Every structure is written in C-alpha cells, then in structure tokens.
C-alpha cells in the first residue's frame, strides 16, 4: 500500500505502575493473609506488569466483614450524600481516563482506540448515571422507600475489566450497599487503580473492597454467609455453579453469562452499514464480548454481496500493538483463551466449514488470533453452537424471516441479537420473536448506562443498567 | 468483469451503454435509483467519525501532506476575481512554497469560465490543469442552451476540466432523466474541436440534496451519465463536503467500478481548510478504495485556504518548528 | 496598607441575556437595599419589555441545541453548575444574607441547598423519561411508545422571598429536560440571581439557555405572559392578583401555566416541576414481517 500508517503509539508513561499491589480491604492496601502473589502479564508482550496479592478465603472473610461494618453508616447516609460520592468518582474517572485507558490496554490487550473511546467514557457515564439515582430510589418503581440488601459480592470478567466494575459497583453503592469485588486474575490492575480513585473521592473505608484473585476467591466470596447479594459476569458454566451455591440461601443473584448472538441481515439492509455492524459485532474487543454477534445469519439472496463486502472490509482491519492508536484488533487476553479459540476454529475446519482470514502479520510475542470467518456453517457445527469468545465469525444463511427467527433462537443462550433491514415493521416483528435480552436494529454493540442489559435463558438473569439495574441491589 | 477502465477512456461509453435499459425512461431510471441499498445515516456517520480517529504521524503524515497538495484544485470563484488575482494563484499552484522547491505542485487551478484563458496562459507547460466551473455555477438556474454555451466557451478557452452543477430542482422533484440527459449534453459540450475531451466533474450540492439516500442515487445517476468525477458541492452553501457525505460517494464509485467496470473520481469541495481535515479524507480514500484512487487522477480537494495550512504543516515537519501565516505566501 | 484604608471595588450588576451581560436597553436602574437595615447595596438594572423580548429571542434560539443535546450531556452541564456554585460559596453566602436578612449560617445552608438542588436535577435529566415515559400495550400489532419532550421557552417568575435557593429551585427543572428559560428575578432581592448569571456563564450552559432579568415583576411579566413565542409560564413569584391577570393573558396561545402556591424550598422537590414543562409524545409503528 502506498499510504502506510507510521506507528502512532500512545505513551505508556502516563501510567505509573508499582512493582506490586496488595488487596484493597477496609480502605487500605494489604498483603494476602497467606502471603501469596500472582503476576499480571501484558498479553501483547508477555511482559510482567506487576505482582499482585492473591486473595484467599481468609481475605474474603476480612473484606466481607469490613464491608458489613461499613454498611451500617453507608446505608444510613442520605441518598443525596451517597450520590455526591458517586458523582465525585465519575468526575475523577473522567479526569484520569487517559491513564486508565492506557492501563487497561496494557493489562487486557485491547486497543487503546477502544479503551479511550468506549470503555472509559462508558465507565464515567455509568457512575454519573447511578449517582443520580441515589437520592431518587423512591421514584424508581420499587416502592416508596426501597432498602439496600447489604454486602454485595461481585465477580467480574477480564474482557471489560473497568467497565464491568462500573456496572457492578455504581448501582450497588447508589442503592446503599457496600461491595466486595473480585476482578479477573488476568486483569486485576484497573480495579486496583479504581481503589485509588475511591481514595481521592474520600469514599468511606470499607464501602468498596477489591480482592484480586482466582476462581477460588470468587467461589469463597459467593459462598460467604455475610454476603447478601451476588453479582457475576462470566461464563455460563461458572454461573450455573453460583446458582447451585446460593440455592437455599437468602442471597439475591444476578448473572450475566455467555452468548451466541445472531446478527441477521435481510436483503433490504443498508449493506455498507450492515457490514460495519457485522465487523463491529464480532471483532470489537477481539470478540471477547458476551453479546458479540458471533453468528451471521444472512439472507441467501444477498449472501455473495455481503460476504464480498465483509471480506474486503476485514482486509483493512489492523491487528497489532494495543497501544498504537490505529490498531483495530489487539491481543487475545491469555494463552488459555487463545488455545480455546484455536481449538474451536480447528473444530470448525474439521467439521467441514470453510475458513477464511485476511492476510495479516501477527506479532511474534504475545497472544494473537487473526480475524477469521467461516462460511458453509450449519446449526450442527460446534462453531455455530459454542461461545468462542474470540474474533471468529460463523456465517449461516436463511431464506425467510421465520427461518431466521428459528435459527437465531436455536441456542441455549439468549443475550443479544442484531437485525439489519430498512423495513421498520420487520424490525419490530423480529424483535418480538427473538429470545434475547438486547436486540439491536441497524446497529450493534451499543451500550448506555440508561439502557438495561442482560440475557434470556442460559445467558443469565437480572438486568444491569437503567432503572431496571437498581432492582438487583434493592430489597424488593 | 473485465479489468476496469477510467470513465474518460473510450471503452467506458460502451460499458455504460450496456446499462442503457436502466436509463431508457424516467420510470426505469427511478426504479433503478430507488432500488439501490438504503443508507443508514447513523451508521454512515459513525464510520466516517471512526476513520477520522486514525492517527497519522511522521512519515505517513509527510506522505499524506504531499499527496494532498498534489490533489488540490486551487480555487478562486469570486465576483471580484481579476486576471491579476488568477495569475497570482497560478504562480502559487506551480510553486506553492518558494522556500522549498521539493514541494509538489497542485493538480489544477479552478476558476470561472472568463478566467480560463488567463489561467491557461499563466500555467503554461507546468502540467497543471485548468478547471472551469460552468453550467451557470453555482445555482445552475438557466436554460440548457445557456449551460451548454457556458461549457463550450470554457472548453474553447482551454479548460482541461469542467465542473458542472446539476439541476437540483429537477433532482428533488424526481425528474431524474432530465438531470441525466443534461449531464450527457454537457459531456458532449466538453468535446473539443480536435475530438479530445475535457474531463467532466459533476457537482451535486450535497447540502441541497439533503439526504444520504439522495446522494447515493445522485452518484449513480451522474456516473451512468458519464461523469469522470463526482463532486460534493460548490462551496457556496451552508453544508459542503463532510466526511460522511464524501465517504458515501467513495462507496458509490467503489460499487460502480465493481459492477460496471468504470472508474470514476471523487472531489470533496468546500469547508476543507486544515491539514488534519485533508488527512482524514485521505484516510477515508485509503481504507474505502485503496491505492487505486490515491492519486490526483482520482481524488481532488476543491479548496483555497487548505494549501497554506498544508504548507505550514510541511514546514513544521521539515524544520521541527511550528510555522506561522507570515511564512507562507498570501495570494 | 491597613485593611480599613482600602476602598472596595463595587460590582456593576447586569442582566444575563443570550450568554452576555448587557445593561437594560432602557438605561434604567433601581436601588436595591439590605432587607434588614434598608441600606444601599447596589443599583440593579430595571429591565424593560424590550429586554424581555430580547431574552425570549435568545431563549428560542438556544432551544434547538439545548433540547437536542443528549440527556447525559445536559446532566453533566447541570452538575458543572453545581461545581461552579460551590466554588463561589462565600460570595453567595454574603449576598444571600444581605438580600434576605439571614444569619451567615442560615444563608450558608440556603447556598448549600442550592448547590445540592443542581445535583438533584443533574441526576434527573436522563431518568425522567424512564419514570414518566414508557411502552404502551395497545391492543393491536403496533409498537407504541410515549416519551417526554421539553415544551420550549418557559418564562419564570422567580419567588420573591428566596433569592437564590428559590431561584435555583424553579430554574433548574426547566432546563433539566431541555426547555430554555427567561427568568425574572426577585424584585426586591435580585442581586444573588444576577450574580448567579456569572456562574452560569462560566459553567458549560450554552448562551441563551438561561436568561435573567431584574426589574419590576409586573412590568416584565406582562409582555412575557402575552408573548406568542413563549410556551409556558411559571407564576411562582407573582402575587395572587397578578397571577390571575397573567394566566388570562397566557390563555391566548395556551401557554402551560404553573400557578403560585406556598412553597418550602428546603423539602424534597419531587418531580412536579419537571413534568410541568414536558409534553408527552406518543409514537405508533406497525409490527409485521
């Protein structure tokens, strides 16, 4: 190409990383009770970013007790005062958003373009939105004086570390709960920086506790008898285990789990925008998105046109250094995830689907997977049924709207769906029939703090965002 | 599909003729234009904005600045234009930066028809084209014979390129065939005595067409009628070239080449004043059309003040200091 | 130099119209005095009907952009007003104390409450639609959705008794949902309102969204109540007699009118001042393949 973009790296120096980080309990950083630590690695370079204390059962107990203690005064604060703390957090996140965006790209591997333009603005907006609810709970439709639940145990995934933290913490605090949050083991750093945001905001100690750790810490948190509310975002498998753990207790639970969304393109769709929506639907955040449009259902009459345009567009995707401002697709978050994507892609080939990827050079260090699409996929293929959670698109076709609905719904998941057509009545009819918690029409992967998000069926229960998102944190 | 040919190549006419059924009647043309895929405005604008976030630095920026300079149709279209003003502009176009002889020359000087001869003479054998607006620019509100005479006059005076305006009134009231025939007639008027042909740019005035669907339809209509270039605007109304309306036209020329085998150029005009803006447009060309359109033969900027900003940025790249308006020439 | 020997600099109080600080076009001022001792505080501009007309033009011009801004954006702007007001707390405590004859601590409480009221309404901008709007389950194959929309230009007679907290309490709900305002400040105590214009000008509130006039309430209210390009009228600061006359005038183009009523500015404001300036729009769309 004649017009080659020179490297445009975002500066790493805006983030001041310490060599090691502790657990954040009761307003202070501390070591784990048993002293164990783990390393957080940059998935794009395999470089160790920092050493982080690894929470165990004793630490969970300590954090839940701190949260319990803080709950008394926090829940007794007038809503307006709680709200002002959250507004402060929102503003500080806005102020520090460049630093946090770079940190997130380092620790997660996602492109700076996304952390800068999507993750961080949404994080601040989420806190801003729920800040406003803190003194308006009586208007939310849950009775004249709804009460908080108590201590919320929250476990979040690695795909949107800070955004998922915001989705969990903002409504919890607004409603008057206190929080113990466990970030994912591959992406603990932004949550620990968030602890510093809480310090700057003057948040009372114990209201937010952050426990970096592995699945064992998450399981201990979910099972802890001092936890009144469990909120989890992650795999369906773990979600089911959590549902079993809390059976028979009084714990309120919300689960936001996997998905296998159908992105349905009709022959009267605005094709250029549909192609952008398909690309955004599956390649946004390397496809590490539970609501990713991982199944493209395209009407047979426009199949060739759409696929040609899609391939042409995929050839322009820029894969590489997450800190380069021109990178579209960053690194896969971990070697484990890369292995899973690779295995499923191989299964796709073995089962007879045709694999295609644009020519693209992948860096030698780090974990990478080229944007890939499979054609000739049928409902029976594993790549049409299992969540790949990577930049891999399975293309299926349909002939009639009824067939599209049938195929789209033919999955245990039900998180999201996309519809592309210029015909308004068809959009609404399809939306009525799709069993999915979020339906995007002529757009995809749109998020807003005012808009409820969550799934049908094995994609989980409960909604996050909007007025609906308060319900999971109120005793109603 | 045989390999694509430029719109001005002799074979192009034959390929367009193969589509004569869609232009056989007003009804057929309307059916065809209304059958083009719709444009989702939000998605189009989001894509244009997304491309606008590309970060073009160092070597890429130097390349883009020189490319942009070479694509400029350096324009003066004022009632107050004089031969002196036009000659000064031509001198600027030939040697944009007197302090740096490595600066590329612009693509064309764009003037009113009565200034064509002056510009032609001033440009001499520099290789810079003379582009003339015609067809009662900018409103286009005269009878067809007047428009054709206006065009023929500019061509006779030596214009290498004609920038015509379409009849927006006819387009908006749905008389597509009338617009089509008018473009064809102007194209005929571009033929010189020696049978060579001035290249035809067709100006839509996107700000008056108002909707993206209209802009896509107008793009196809103009290309079917034989446009060598499609151009966003006159620069004389409130909304001129914007990244989304230009992106839409880039998509149209891409699709037209893919289906008809004829390659057409694109010229955004009006409101592009900074290097940053110009580079955003080049990024759009690069990622929508690729190398094939990244030359002055296929992409132009209709601009006047843009050139000096590009020159200041160029000086910044070569000296490391920010330049100021006193260090570029005012013409 | 000792403190006593330094002569202070007085501020010329001006109107706030279209994002600028003009004097009254009439050239008139009136004397504003301390509510306790009656001593001179400042000369306030005595705005005329032409100033009122200019303010309506400015408010109308600003309406498109302000009502078209996202609710989130308006929320951020309102919160910014709270931030800027908090930063000038000392100034307003003094002005409110002088204007209303309050002790420093009571004036301080009023200013604090005024800051918090901006925060309250900042939070409402992107929630009111979820509380008062929603999908309607019509009996047929139609999608049917009702959403609130701002009514337009609202003329507001600010309360006479509460120079800042009262003003904020009537103004913030107008602009929270996207309407624009022409406010007539408390006649006897306009200075905090006029200074508040400076807070708005240094927040991110676009010029013309709020326009503040001082002068004789009846003189300014009359042209506003009959103005054909004003959509609604808040009569909070009008006497009972004046309110009746104004409501009659407002009937001419069916302005939405909020009548004066006893108010306690220190209590939970509820949502009635938000919904007073909202129109409900209902959209029908067929559902079918």
Place of tokens 């006893």: C262
A276–B47 C-beta distance less than 8 A: yes
Closest by alpha carbon to A40, among A140, A161, A165, A195? A161
Chain C: give the shortest CA distance to residue A135, in Å: 8
In the numeric block, which tokens belong to residue B168?
Answer: 């927006």
Chain B: give the shortest CA distance to residue A452, in Å: 21
B89 pLDDT above the threshold of 70: yes
Positive or negative, the CA dihedral A9, A13, A14, A20 is positive
Q: How large a percentage of chain C has pLDDT more than 90?
A: 97
Closest by alpha carbon to B144, among B181, B171, B191? B181
A401–C289 C-beta distance less than 8 A: yes
A402, burial (CB in 10 Å: exposed 0-12, middle 13-18, buried 19+): exposed
Closest by alpha carbon to A440, among A300, A309, A284, A328? A284
pLDDT at C38: 85
pLDDT at C37: 76
Residues of A in contact with C120 (CB under 8 A): 80, 135
- Please, are residues B203 and B219 in contact by the beta-carbon 8 Å criterion? no
B27 pLDDT above the threshold of 90: yes
Instruction: Identify the CATH number of the domain defined by range C29-286.
Output: 3.40.605.10
A14-257+456-473: which CATH number, 3.90.1150.10, 2.170.130.10, 3.40.605.10, 1.10.620.20?
3.40.605.10
For A262-441, which CATH superfamily applies? Aldehyde Dehydrogenase; Chain A, domain 2 (3.40.309.10)
Running DSSP on this structure, what letter comes out for residue C17? B
Bond into A124 cis (ω within 30) = no
A428–C127 C-beta distance less than 8 A: no
pLDDT at B48: 98
Other beta carbons within 10 angstroms of residue C129's beta carbon come to 18
The mean pLDDT value for C165-175 works out to 98
Q: Do chains B and A touch (3 or more CB pairs under 8 A)?
A: yes
Identify the bridge partners of residue A230 per DSSP, sorted by sequence position: A153, A253
The mean pLDDT value for B220-238 works out to 97
A8–B38 C-beta distance less than 8 A: no
B103-116: pLDDT as tens digits: 999 999 999 999 99
The mean pLDDT value for A377-387 works out to 96
Closest by alpha carbon to A383, among A334, A350, A336, A358? A350
> How far apart, in whole angstroms, are the C-alpha atoms of residue B48 and residue B41?
11
Q: Is C35 on the interface with A (CB under 8 A)?
A: no
Closest by alpha carbon to B251, among A390, A49, A274? A274
In the numeric block, which tokens belong to residue A419?
Answer: 């519809």
A332-370: pLDDT as tens digits: 999 999 999 999 999 999 999 999 999 999 999 999 999
Q: Do domains A14-257+456-473 and A262-441 have the same CATH topology?
A: no
Q: How many CB pairs under 8 A join A and C?
A: 71
- Could you list the active site residues of B? 163, 231, 267
B146-162: pLDDT as tens digits: 999 999 999 999 999 99
Interface test with B, best of A8, A273, A298, A327 (most B CBs within 10 A): A273
Residue of B40, B46, B55 with shortest CB distance to A325: B55
Residue of C79, C271, C285 with shortest CB distance to A425: C285
Q: Which residues contact A232 (CB under 8 A, 6 or more apart)?
A: A154, A155, A156, A218, A222, A238, A239, A242, A253, A254, A255, A256, A257
Q: How confident is the model at residue A1 (pLDDT cuts 50, 70, 90)?
A: low
Residues of A in contact with C78 (CB under 8 A): none
C143–A428 C-beta distance less than 8 A: yes
Rounded to two decimals, the ipTM of the complex is 0.96
C213-260: pLDDT as tens digits: 999 999 999 999 999 999 999 999 999 999 999 999 999 999 999 999
Indicate the pTM of the whole model. 0.97
- Hey, what's the torsion of the CAs at B25, B30, B36, B37, to 10 degrees? -160
pLDDT at B118: 98
What is each CA distance from A186 to A214, A413, A471, in whole angstroms? 9, 25, 30
Residues of C in contact with A428 (CB under 8 A): 143, 285-288
Chain C: give the shortest CA distance to residue A431, in Å: 9
Residue of B47, B60, B290 with shortest CB distance to A5: B60
Interface test with A, best of B36, B39, B43 (most A CBs within 10 A): B43
> How far apart, in whole angstroms, are the C-alpha atoms of residue B114 and residue A61?
87
C1 pLDDT above the threshold of 90: no
- Please, are residues A431 and A419 in contact by the beta-carbon 8 Å criterion? yes
Q: Is C127 on the interface with A (CB under 8 A)?
A: yes
pLDDT at B331: 76
Q: Is C271 on the interface with A (CB under 8 A)?
A: yes
Q: At what angle do helices C165-176 and C71-87 cross, to 10 degrees?
A: 160
Backbone angles phi, psi at B289, to 5 degrees: -120, -25
Residues of B in contact with A7 (CB under 8 A): 57
Backbone angles phi, psi at B295, to 5 degrees: -155, 160
Identify the bridge partners of residue B301 per DSSP, sorted by sequence position: B72
What is each CA distance from A334 to A294, A331, A354, B68, B300, in whole angstroms? 20, 8, 26, 42, 46
Q: Which residues contact A179 (CB under 8 A, 6 or more apart)?
A: A67, A151, A152, A154, A168, A169, A172, A173, A207, A208, A209
A450–C127 C-beta distance less than 8 A: yes
In the numeric block, which tokens belong to residue A51?
Answer: 């050493």
C232, burial (CB in 10 Å: exposed 0-12, middle 13-18, buried 19+): buried
- Please, are residues C214 and C51 in contact by the beta-carbon 8 Å criterion? no
Residue ranges of the domains in chain A? Answer: 14-257+456-473, 262-441
List all chains that touch chain C, counting a touch as 3 or more CB pairs closer than 8 Å: A
Residues of B in contact with A327 (CB under 8 A): none
- Hey, what's the torsion of the CAs at A5, B279, B112, B160, to 10 degrees? 10
Residue of C124, C271, C286 with shortest CB distance to A132: C124
Q: Is C72 on the interface with A (CB under 8 A)?
A: yes
- Please, are residues B327 and B312 in contact by the beta-carbon 8 Å criterion? yes
List all chains that touch chain B, counting a touch as 3 or more CB pairs closer than 8 Å: A
pLDDT at C2: 55
Report how many helices (DSSP H) and strands (DSSP E) chain A contains, helices first.
15, 18
pLDDT at A281: 98
C130–A425 C-beta distance less than 8 A: no
- Please, are residues C121 and C78 in contact by the beta-carbon 8 Å criterion? yes
Beta sheet of B229-231, edge-to-edge order:
B265-267, B229-231, B199-203, B161-165, B129-134, B108-111, B72-75, B301-303
- Looking at every residue in chain C, the average pLDDT score rounds to 97
The mean pLDDT value for A225-252 works out to 98
Residue of A4, A268, A326 with shortest CB distance to B55: A326
Q: Is C116 on the interface with A (CB under 8 A)?
A: yes
In the numeric block, which tokens belong to residue A193?
Answer: 């920086």
pLDDT at C135: 97
> How far apart, in whole angstroms, are the C-alpha atoms of residue A298 and residue A163?
31
List all chains that touch chain A, counting a touch as 3 or more CB pairs closer than 8 Å: B, C
pLDDT at B330: 86
Could you tell me where the beta strands, DSSP code E, fall in C97-179?
A: 134-135, 142-150, 153-157
Q: How confident is the model at residue C3 (pLDDT cuts 50, 70, 90)?
A: low
Residues of C in contact with A87 (CB under 8 A): 79, 119, 122
Residue of B40, B67, B291 with shortest CB distance to A1: B291
Positive or negative, the CA dihedral A363, A367, A371, A374 is positive
Three-class DSSP category at A418: strand
DSSP one-letter string for A314-371: HTT--BS-TTBTT-SB---S-HHHHHHHHHHHHHHHHTTPEEE----PPPSSS-----
A268–B47 C-beta distance less than 8 A: no
What is each CA distance from B203 to B131, B166, B206, B265, in whole angstroms? 13, 6, 8, 12
The mean pLDDT value for C25-41 works out to 93
A272–B37 C-beta distance less than 8 A: yes
- Could you list the active site residues of A? 256
- Please, are residues C181 and C175 in contact by the beta-carbon 8 Å criterion? yes
The mean pLDDT value for A116-139 works out to 98
Positive or negative, the CA dihedral C271, C274, C280, C281 is negative
Chain C: give the shortest CA distance to residue A182, in Å: 29
Q: With respect to CATH, is domain B5-320 assigned 3.20.20.70?
A: yes
Residues of B in contact with A419 (CB under 8 A): none
A316–B287 C-beta distance less than 8 A: yes
Q: Which residues of A66-103 are buried (b: 16+ CB within 10 A; e: fewer)?
A: bbbebbeebbebebbebbbbbbbbbbbbbebbbebbbb
> How far apart, in whole angstroms, are the C-alpha atoms of residue B60 and residue B320?
16
């Amino acid at each position: 190409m004649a017009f080659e973009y020179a490297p445009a790296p975002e500066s790493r120096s805006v983030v001041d990383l310490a060599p090691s980080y502790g657990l954040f309990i009761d307003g202070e950083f501390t070591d784990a009770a048993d002293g164990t630590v783990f390393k957080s690695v940059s998935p794009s370079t395999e470089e160790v970013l920092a050493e982080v204390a690894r929470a165990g059962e004793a630490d969970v107990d300590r954090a839940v007790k701190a949260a319990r203690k803080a709950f008394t005064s926090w829940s007794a604060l007038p809503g307006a005062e709680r709200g002002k703390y959250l507004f402060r957090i929102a503003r500080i996140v806005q102020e520090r958003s460049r630093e946090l965006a770079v940190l997130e790209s380092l620790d997660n591997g996602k492109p700076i373009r996304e952390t800068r333009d999507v993750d961080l603005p949404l994080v601040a907006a989420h806190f801003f939105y729920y800040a406003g609810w803190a003194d308006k709970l009586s208007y939310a439709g849950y009775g004249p004086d709804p009460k908080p639940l108590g201590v919320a145990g929250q476990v979040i995934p690695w795909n949107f570390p800070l955004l998922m933290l915001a989705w969990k913490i903002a409504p919890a605090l607004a409603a008057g709960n206190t929080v113990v949050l466990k970030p994912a083991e591959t992406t603990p750093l932004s949550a620990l920086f968030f602890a510093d945001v809480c310090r700057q905001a003057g948040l009372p100690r114990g209201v937010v506790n952050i426990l970096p750790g592995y699945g064992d810490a998450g399981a201990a948190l979910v099972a802890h008898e001092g936890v009144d509310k469990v909120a989890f975002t992650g795999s369906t498998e773990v979600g089911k285990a959590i549902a079993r753990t809390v059976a028979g207790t009084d714990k309120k639970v919300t689960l936001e789990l996997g998905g296998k969304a159908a992105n349905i393109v009709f022959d009267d769709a605005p094709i250029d925008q549909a192609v952008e929506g398909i690309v955004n639907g599956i390649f946004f955040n390397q496809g590490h998105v539970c609501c990713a449009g991982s199944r493209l259902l395209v009407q047979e009459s426009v199949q060739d046109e759409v696929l040609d345009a899609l391939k042409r567009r995929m050839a322009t995707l820029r894969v590489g250094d997450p800190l380069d401002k021109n990178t579209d697709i960053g690194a896969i978050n971990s070697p484990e995830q890369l292995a899973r994507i690779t295995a499923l892609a191989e299964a796709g080939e073995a089962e007879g689907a045709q694999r295609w990827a644009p020519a693209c050079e992948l860096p030698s260090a780090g974990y990478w997977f080229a944007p890939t699409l499979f054609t000739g996929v049928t409902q029976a293929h594993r790549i049409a049924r299992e969540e790949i959670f990577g930049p891999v698109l399975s293309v299926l076709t349909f002939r009639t709207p009824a067939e599209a609905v049938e195929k789209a719904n033919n999955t245990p998941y039900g998180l999201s769906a996309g519809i592309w057509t210029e015909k308004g009545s068809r959009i609404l009819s399809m939306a009525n029939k799709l069993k999915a918690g979020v339906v995007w029409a002529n757009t995809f992967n749109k998020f807003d703090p005012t808009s409820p998000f969550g799934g049908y069926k094995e994609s989980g229960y409960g909604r996050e965002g909007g007025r609906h998102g308060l319900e999971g944190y109120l005793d109603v | 599909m045989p390999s694509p040919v430029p719109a001005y190549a002799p074979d192009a006419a034959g390929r367009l003729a193969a589509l004569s059924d869609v232009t056989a009647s007003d009804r057929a043309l309307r059916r065809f234009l209304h059958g083009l895929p719709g444009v989702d405005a939000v998605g189009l604008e989001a894509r244009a904005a997304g491309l606008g976030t590309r970060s073009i630095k160092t070597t890429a920026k130097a390349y883009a600045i020189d490319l942009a300079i070479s694509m400029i149709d350096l324009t003066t279209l004022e009632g107050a234009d004089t031969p002196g003003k036009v000659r000064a502009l031509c001198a600027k176009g030939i040697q944009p930066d007197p302090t740096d002889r490595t600066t590329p020359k612009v693509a064309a000087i764009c003037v009113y028809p009565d200034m064509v001869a002056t510009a032609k003479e001033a440009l001499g054998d520099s290789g810079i084209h003379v582009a003339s607006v015609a067809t009662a620019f900018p409103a286009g509100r005269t009878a067809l014979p007047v428009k054709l005479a206006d065009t023929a006059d500019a061509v006779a005076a030596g214009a290498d390129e004609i920038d015509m305006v379409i009849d927006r009134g006819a387009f908006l009231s749905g008389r597509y065939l009338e617009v089509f025939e008018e473009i064809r007639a102007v194209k005929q008027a571009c033929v010189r005595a020696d049978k060579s042909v001035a290249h035809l740019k067709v100006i839509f005035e996107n700000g008056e067409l108002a909707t993206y669907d209209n802009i896509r339809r107008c793009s196809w209509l103009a290309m079917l009628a034989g446009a060598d270039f499609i151009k966003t605007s006159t620069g004389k109304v409130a909304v001129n070239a914007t990244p989304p309306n230009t992106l839409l036209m880039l998509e149209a020329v891409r699709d037209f080449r893919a289906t008809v085998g004829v390659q057409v150029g694109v010229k955004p005009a009006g409101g592009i004043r900074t290097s940053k803006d110009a580079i955003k447009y080049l990024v759009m060309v690069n990622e929508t059309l690729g190398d094939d359109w990244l030359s002055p033969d296929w992409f132009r900027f209709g601009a006047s003040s843009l050139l000096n900003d590009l020159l200041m940025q160029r000086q910044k790249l070569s000296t490391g200091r920010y330049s100021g308006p006193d260090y570029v020439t005012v013409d | 130099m000792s403190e006593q020997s330094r002569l202070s600099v007085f501020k010329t109080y001006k109107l706030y119209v279209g994002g600028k600080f003009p004097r009254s076009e009439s050239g008139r001022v009136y004397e504003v005095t301390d509510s306790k001792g009656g001593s001179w505080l400042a000369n306030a501009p005595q705005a005329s009907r032409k100033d009122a007309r200019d303010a309506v033009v400015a408010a109308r011009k600003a309406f498109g952009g302000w009502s078209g801004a996202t609710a989130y954006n308006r929320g951020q702007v309102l919160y910014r007003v709270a931030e800027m007001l908090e930063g000038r707390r000392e100034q307003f405590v003094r002005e409110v104390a002088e204007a209303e004859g309050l002790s420093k601590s009571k004036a301080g409480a009023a200013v604090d409450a005024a800051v918090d009221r901006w925060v309250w309404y900042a939070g409402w901008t992107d929630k009111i639609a979820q509380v008062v709007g929603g999908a309607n389950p019509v009996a047929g194959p139609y999608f049917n959705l009702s959403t609130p929309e701002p009514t337009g230009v609202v003329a507001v007679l600010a309360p006479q008794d509460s120079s800042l907290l009262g003003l904020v309490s009537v103004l913030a709900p107008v602009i929270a949902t996207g309407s624009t305002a022409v406010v007539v400040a408390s006649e006897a105590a306009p200075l905090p309102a006029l200074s508040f214009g400076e807070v708005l000008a240094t927040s991110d509130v676009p010029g013309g969204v709020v326009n503040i006039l001082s002068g004789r309430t009846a003189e300014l209210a009359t042209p506003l109540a009959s103005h054909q390009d004003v959509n609604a009228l808040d009569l909070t600061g009008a006497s009972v007699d004046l309110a009746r006359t104004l409501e009659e005038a407002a009937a001419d183009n069916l302005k939405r009118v909020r009548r004066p009523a006893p108010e306690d500015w220190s209590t939970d404001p509820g949502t009635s001042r938000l919904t007073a300036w909202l129109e409900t729009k209902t959209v029908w769309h067929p559902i079918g393949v």
